[in-house]
A and B are shown apart, each in its own frame.
Chain A
């Protein structure tokens, strides 16, 4: 898993290595200071005649080292910050670019919320791990080894204390943290449950109040809050052993060093100064061991984040135009389906579209109707190759869609999706998605066709009106019309409206259709609609049922021959005729 994340270091190798070197320097200096202190006492004081120059040399050296340690420590903090944020930035870019390569099928697999989590929270988790790794691992490893060497150098026999203390401490820490980890996961699950309860009450506060359920909600909230407390206690009860046990080992080591060290000193095999140094090493060695265990633990804790990120990086993109002819352009709006089978799960046993064949001439207006789940949307999404057919062929302008570069194909096949999304920015910014270089006249023409020009001009800022995130300032019908205008700006050969006028009144709906007919006469138009009126004046209408194209004919003839069409027609037109 780590291997896949490593490329994100690119561009920050120097800082990464620099930070590690600086931290090693700091660590070594910090060990040398107490070592010098030992020497100072042994060579400066414990001799018969204290020598001033020795004391001053060692003392001055210590101060100098401390100053250098400070500088290298600060430099490391800076380098690590640059490397860590650079790493995160690269990682975000890698993920973001990968997501941009996703096909619709890939996008369907990950919800947008989960993509956001991966790009934000998960990246932050990995970034923290990375910073910890470069700042902590090397440093503590070096401190542990060096301090241990010095300890052995001071007195090898006394160092046996560490042979007991180190594995004991590391073992206990890892045991506790690894044992506690699943309990913390459980605690977080309970926390989510409780928060979900609160969220539900916030969203549905009108329901709660209308049904006078406040007291019941209090009880069920209390249940989840108590459950959370229990889970937290269960988890923390394990973790609180950490401090006392590590202190016990730490104190135990001190006692052992004092006892055996005292014997060694009296026995003449060790100086008094050595004892001080040794005691300092205990602190250094044992806290490094703890830090290293921590690094290991955070590695385990972030494993879920690592996995989620690698999942995106590893995702197989199922639509590619690598083999396509870069020169090939869509020259006319004819569309043909030849025995097309399609399945979202790529499973021939579970077909969403089954054996669909039809041919549409350039410039025709085609209506599509059918019940929910009859695969109307699926059908049209195959035209700009948003999904890949399982079997058969889709041809646009006489060529298989796979022969075009995706960019060339989608530029000429404009699709207005059911989910009408506008982005933050002005109306004009949004319209320019269709054509970056459109002139004001072109923009206005498209908006007139989509019946959007008038309401846009009714805003004080006109085309410069700011839409805010998600386009909150316009009504549903207006949003739909902006989305249509945005698609028309592409100057496409094929336009697909997927239930794109559902929030507009029937008069506007009709005006849009008539504009399409007159202003984009040569453009093939597909209109998916719930309203029968929206397809009644189409050249031909497709009737979809359960993934099959059951009829494809003029509206007049369908009324006579097709039962589904007639049923929908009757249920919608009945009301009007009654009066």
Chain B
């Protein structure tokens, strides 16, 4: 009997597009596969059960079908020829009952299999996702800077999704199909080796057809992807620039351009879709041709059997023929199915390979041993480590000695390059005494942000040394080093959560009062109180519901809550208008009071009151001094200040 088509499969995979074969191939199929197998380990017992279920279900189907021949040959035909007795009816009934039980067992196994596999596949997905994410947290900034977000995101979306598909559908289906094909084949050989030869010939033909189609379809698919990329890119660009299009009355021309791209896409897609969807009808009907040939030859063999003077090898009973024909139908369906699964398994393995590549990335190295601890200042001036939060921090060396954290940062002949080729910072030396405010001014690419990237060890210096309270920052544990610095960055990023949670991001154990105090300091309190749910207002999509200026105020509050000895402000007030900036000036002064502060700013009014201002150009400090000194120099700073020079 033909198998019922699998319903869940079709819906879960979605119609059409996603069914279309994808043509990504893994580089190391075997290695990736073996590694993937390891994730199944914790579920070994369940998998054993699943295997049993798959085998039983497949065999139940085959055996159930096999009962058809004896039903006709042993029960119905004898009753027709020799008359129906009650005894024979009972045997007939028992036979039917046997079939029913076999089928029922099969159905139960199908259900169990699906249910257990669901547990395994979602479990493995969860494990992989967790591993991937926690690994991602350990990767150096360089990893993120050298890749687009989309590229990393697709590990979580496309690659994980194709893996999900493979785990929950392709692999079980492949095993199932394989089992069915093998058992059906065995039954066919048993029934009639002669007719089986036809099946084998057709099978070879089918494989050749699939191969040829896959090749053809692959080429068209690539063309389609290219055309799709161009058309979608155009749609995106024009949707983005819709208002510009209107202002310049370009609608007609744009329509014309799009119509052309759209038509290119249509042609490429029609080709790709043709080859992708032609497989099913061809395979299906090849199996009908096989059915017809088998039927014709089989009938001849039955006739030969009736005449009785032919060798047994080429004769057949009517029952055997009927059963064999059912097997013929059962044989081709899993073959078609396997040919489809194969592609999706390959592309899933390619995805798995990319996921493993992320997991295998080198984590951020951290050879530091010095830790940051809370300390109490005793009356005699010595430090004692303590659990609770005090206003005093200390560096704790591995030998247990404590040094008070003051925020004395020194750059000693620091040279740095991101790629090993282009020097970004060239032999920079500077110092910031505890409590000083040091400002950096210069064009984009002059190296301002790089300096802050080095202080918190997002990147490591290649030449020279940065010391912090006398310690080489490489000797301080990274987490502790970063905990001693608070950063407010130009592109303020907030997280999904309430305003309160976002400010508390700076320090997990801050009380509501401390959060509100920090918000007041950053002058964020007043606008927060105007939000619909005040501090409980949800921030979504990176703070889309707030203005850039408001986001910066929250980021300042976040840094204020962290309350660290050193503060880094990278264009922290660039999006705040001059009026608001003058309002938060007092708060900022209070925030900076007693801390070492590094300031990067475009707007010179922000840096005017710094202890020292460094003017950077091409990785070098070209001028340094305080505001007055620099103006008197009548150099670059003077030009910037008087507006004769443009910072880009």
B239 with A115: CB separation less than 8 A: yes
Q: Select which of B4, B110, B137 is within 8 A of A217 by beta carbon.
A: B137
Given contacts A93-B259, A107-B242, contact A70 B292 (CB under 8 A): no
Which size class do A's interface residues fall under?
Answer: 35 or more
Q: Which residues of A contact B248 (CB under 8 A)?
A: 410, 433-434, 486, 490
Cβ-based interface call for A439 (8 A): no
B286 with A70: CB separation less than 8 A: yes
Query: Interface digits, A272-307 against B, CB 8 Å rule (1 contact, 0 not)?
Result: 100110011011101100110010011000000000
Q: Give Cα A309–Cα B103 distance, bound, in whole angstroms.
A: 46
- Min CB–CB distance A44 → chain B (angstroms): 6
Closest 6 CB pairs of A and B: A73-B281, A59-B296, A505-B646, A128-B16, A204-B493, A506-B643
Given contacts A209-B482, A225-B126, contact A80 B277 (CB under 8 A): yes
Additional 9 contacts, C-beta under 8 A, given A266-B80, A424-B237, A508-B646: A45-B302, A62-B295, A67-B289, A99-B239, A135-B277, A232-B122, A254-B64, A411-B249, A469-B233
Q: Which residues of A contact B249 (CB under 8 A)?
A: 406-407, 410-411
Selected A-B contacts with CB under 8 Å, 6 pairs: A195-B156, A209-B141, A283-B3, A283-B4, A290-B5, A386-B243
Q: Which residues of B contact A275 (CB under 8 A)?
A: 72, 322
Q: Which residues B579-611 have CB closer than 8 A to chain A?
A: 579, 582, 605
> Which of the 9-residue segments A236-244, A329-337, A361-369, A518-526 touches chain B?
A236-244
Cβ-based interface call for B134 (8 A): yes
Cβ-based interface call for B505 (8 A): yes
- Min CB–CB distance A195 → chain B (angstroms): 6
A287 with B149: CB separation less than 8 A: no
Cβ-based interface call for A82 (8 A): yes
Q: Which residues A424-438 have CB closer than 8 A to chain B?
A: 424, 433-434, 436
Cβ-based interface call for A250 (8 A): yes
A70 with B486: CB separation less than 8 A: no
B239 with A116: CB separation less than 8 A: yes
Q: Give Cα A209–Cα B457 distance, bound, in whole angstroms.
A: 10
A240 with B136: CB separation less than 8 A: no
B107 with A247: CB separation less than 8 A: yes
B11 with A78: CB separation less than 8 A: no
Cβ-based interface call for B68 (8 A): yes
Q: Give Cα A177–Cα B8 distance, bound, in whole angstroms.
A: 9
Chain B residue nearest to A230 (CB atoms) is B122
A177 with B96: CB separation less than 8 A: no
Q: Which residues of B contact A112 (CB under 8 A)?
A: 236, 239-240, 242
Q: Select which of A30, A225, A246, A504 is within 8 A of B4 by beta carbon.
A: A246
> Which of the 9-residue segments A49-57, A145-153, A388-396, A544-552 touches chain B?
A49-57
Cβ-based interface call for B99 (8 A): yes
Cβ-based interface call for A74 (8 A): yes
- Min CB–CB distance B639 → chain A (angstroms): 10
- Min CB–CB distance A240 → chain B (angstroms): 4
Q: Select which of B2, B72, B292 is within 8 A of A272 by beta carbon.
A: B72
Cβ-based interface call for B465 (8 A): no
Q: Which residues A55-109 have CB closer than 8 A to chain B?
A: 55-56, 58-60, 62-63, 65-67, 69-70, 73-74, 76-78, 80-82, 84-86, 88-89, 92-93, 96-97, 99-104, 107
Q: Which residues of B contact A50 (CB under 8 A)?
A: 303, 306
Q: Which residues of B contact A201 (CB under 8 A)?
A: 133, 136-137
Q: Which residues of B contact A233 (CB under 8 A)?
A: 118-119, 122
A66 with B137: CB separation less than 8 A: no
Cβ-based interface call for B444 (8 A): yes
Q: Which residues of A contact B582 (CB under 8 A)?
A: 571
Given contacts A77-B277, A85-B270, A287-B4, contact A255 B99 (CB under 8 A): yes
Q: Give Cα A251–Cα B239 distance, bound, in whole angstroms.
A: 54
Cβ-based interface call for A448 (8 A): no
Q: Which residues of B contact A194 (CB under 8 A)?
A: 129, 156
Cβ-based interface call for A2 (8 A): no
- Min CB–CB distance A448 → chain B (angstroms): 18
Given contacts A104-B243, A115-B239, contact A218 B4 (CB under 8 A): no
Chain B residue nearest to A238 (CB atoms) is B8
A214 with B137: CB separation less than 8 A: yes
Q: Which residues of B contact A415 (CB under 8 A)?
A: 247
Given contacts A85-B273, A89-B263, A202-B153, contact A294 B7 (CB under 8 A): yes
B285 with A266: CB separation less than 8 A: no
Q: Give Cα A507–Cα B640 distance, bound, in whole angstroms.
A: 11
Q: Which residues A161-216 have CB closer than 8 A to chain B?
A: 173, 177, 194-216
Most buried by B among A50, A74, A262, A297: A262
Q: Which residues B293-336 have CB closer than 8 A to chain A?
A: 293, 295-297, 299-300, 302-303, 306, 318, 321-322, 325-326, 329
Query: Interface digits, A25-43 against B, CB 8 Å rule (1 contact, 0 not)?
Result: 0100010010001001100
Cβ-based interface call for A459 (8 A): no
> Which of the 9-residue segments B250-258, B337-345, B375-383, B390-398 touches chain A?
B250-258
- Min CB–CB distance A210 → chain B (angstroms): 4
Q: Select which of A236, A282, A478 is within 8 A of B1 by beta carbon.
A: A282
Given contacts A112-B240, A129-B15, A244-B108, contact A40 B153 (CB under 8 A): no
Q: Give Cα A60–Cα B300 distance, bound, in whole angstroms.
A: 12
> Which of the 9-residue segments A119-127, A344-352, A535-543, A555-563 touches chain B?
A119-127
Query: Interface digits, A399-433 against B, CB 8 Å rule (1 contact, 0 not)?
Result: 00000001100110011010101011000000001
Given contacts A33-B292, A93-B259, A579-B631, contact A74 B281 (CB under 8 A): yes
Q: Give Cα A348–Cα B582 distance, bound, in whole angstroms.
A: 36
- Min CB–CB distance A573 → chain B (angstroms): 12
Given contacts A218-B137, A410-B249, A475-B444, contact A70 B258 (CB under 8 A): no
Q: Give Cα A244–Cα B71 distance, bound, in whole angstroms.
A: 25
Cβ-based interface call for B489 (8 A): yes
A107 with B243: CB separation less than 8 A: yes
Q: Give Cα A341–Cα B511 distance, bound, in whole angstroms.
A: 49
Number of interface residues of B (CB under 8 A): 155
Q: Which residues of A contact B125 (CB under 8 A)?
A: 229
Cβ-based interface call for B562 (8 A): yes
Most buried by B among A202, A272, A572: A202
Q: Which residues B114-147 have CB closer than 8 A to chain A?
A: 114-115, 118-119, 122-123, 125-126, 129-130, 133-134, 136-138, 141, 144
B10 with A236: CB separation less than 8 A: no
Q: Give Cα A477–Cα B645 distance, bound, in whole angstroms.
A: 12
Q: Which residues of A contact B106 (CB under 8 A)?
A: 247, 251
B508 with A216: CB separation less than 8 A: yes
Chain A residue nearest to B292 (CB atoms) is A62
Q: Which residues of B contact A506 (CB under 8 A)?
A: 643-644
A507 with B643: CB separation less than 8 A: yes
B486 with A210: CB separation less than 8 A: yes
B11 with A294: CB separation less than 8 A: yes
A59 with B8: CB separation less than 8 A: no
Most buried by A among B247, B306, B631: B247
Cβ-based interface call for B288 (8 A): yes
- Min CB–CB distance B174 → chain A (angstroms): 16
Cβ-based interface call for A323 (8 A): no
Q: Which residues of B contact A215 (CB under 8 A)?
A: 137
Cβ-based interface call for A160 (8 A): no
A77 with B292: CB separation less than 8 A: no
Q: Which residues of B contact A279 (CB under 8 A)?
A: 1, 68, 326
Chain B residue nearest to A424 (CB atoms) is B237
Q: Which residues of A contact B281 (CB under 8 A)?
A: 26, 70, 73-74, 76-77
Q: Give Cα A196–Cα B496 distance, bound, in whole angstroms.
A: 9
Q: Which residues of A contact B262 (CB under 8 A)?
A: 89, 92-93, 96
Chain A residue nearest to B644 (CB atoms) is A507
Cβ-based interface call for A476 (8 A): yes
B96 with A258: CB separation less than 8 A: yes
B482 with A212: CB separation less than 8 A: yes
Cβ-based interface call for B282 (8 A): yes
A286 with B4: CB separation less than 8 A: yes
Q: Give Cα A291–Cα B240 distance, bound, in whole angstroms.
A: 40
B495 with A200: CB separation less than 8 A: yes
Q: Which residues B258-283 have CB closer than 8 A to chain A?
A: 258-259, 262-263, 265-266, 269-271, 273-274, 277-278, 280-282
